[in-house]
Chain A
Amino acid sequence: QVQLVQSGAEVKKPGSSVKVSCKASGVSFSNYTISWVRQAPGQGLEWMGGIIPIFGSANYAQKFQGRVTITADESTTTGYMELSGLRSEDTAMYYCARSLFWKAMDVWGQGTTVTVSS
């Protein structure tokens, strides 16, 4: 069964960093793109960036450039998204999703809630 399983909820202080993981099981990993999409409370979907593990380099949305780092470990079929300089506006649900290159995101993780609060 194809699954992306994300790490658990996080509560962080402003200015700190968070690293969310996304483990793929029952699904080919290296040839696919892992994207990260976030959703602030009551808001829409926002693509943050993504990585194709076999290529290694990530692409980021301009808005997050310099604050987000997306990586992937092929040996453990796990993707990671690290967001630094956290502020209250980063409080959101963060999803990973799989696609073939930059096409349809057909498998999604269950989401990870990140709360930024002093």
Chain B
Amino acid sequence: EIVMTQTPLSLSVTPGQPASISCKSSQSLLHSDGKTYLYWYLQKPGQPPQLLIYEVSNRFSGVPDRFSGSGSGTDFTLKVSRVEAEDVGVYYCMQSIQLPITFGQGTRLEIK
């Protein structure tokens, strides 16, 4: 199975400052159809995960433009340009190019 490795595992950020999370996969997530099956989710406290970014860099409906995703192959990054209090929670990357679907360990973001 594809192993997803996130760094850091925790992040403490002052409101208004940027944040960045890395996600590395043990195999390339580039499919022969040209798409890369890498996603980012945010799980706020007490809630189910919510989709932020699909296929590396596409923001899901309603996601603020301070969230952006980038990367290719096996290396990916989620950036929050200016962290707000509502961004607190655990961020997960996920791959679905190959079953089983696998998630990163999660990165906990807290506000300083």
Q: Which residues of A line the B interface, CB within 8 A?
A: 35, 37, 44-47, 49-50, 59, 61-62, 95, 97, 99, 102-106, 108-111
Contact = CB atoms under 8 A, between A and B. Distances in A.
A108 B103 contact: no
Contacts of A50: 101
Interface of B: 1, 37, 39, 41, 43, 48-51, 54-55, 60, 90, 92, 94, 96, 99-106
A50 B104 CA distance: 19
Contacts of B105: 44
B101 A102 contact: yes
Contacts of B99: 59, 61, 102
A32 to B, nearest CB: 14
B103 A103 contact: no
Contacts of A62: 1, 100
Nearest to A49: B100
A106 B51 contact: yes
A104 B54 contact: yes
Interface SS, A side: strand
Nearest to B98: A102
Given A44-B92, A49-B100, 11 more contacts: A44-B90, A45-B92, A45-B103, A47-B101, A59-B100, A62-B100, A102-B37, A102-B99, A103-B96, A104-B96, A105-B51
Nearest to A62: B100
Contacts of A103: 37, 54-55, 96
A47 B102 contact: yes
A45 B49 contact: yes
A27 to B, nearest CB: 14
A109 B101 contact: no
Contacts of B60: 104, 106
B10 to A, nearest CB: 13
A79 B51 CA distance: 21
Contacts of B103: 44-47
30 contacts: A35-B101, A37-B49, A44-B90, A44-B92, A44-B105, A44-B106, A45-B43, A45-B49, A45-B94, A45-B103, A46-B103, A47-B100, A47-B101, A47-B102, A47-B103, A59-B100, A61-B100, A62-B1, A102-B96, A103-B54, A103-B55, A104-B51, A104-B54, A104-B96, A105-B51, A108-B48, A108-B49, A108-B50, A109-B48, A110-B48
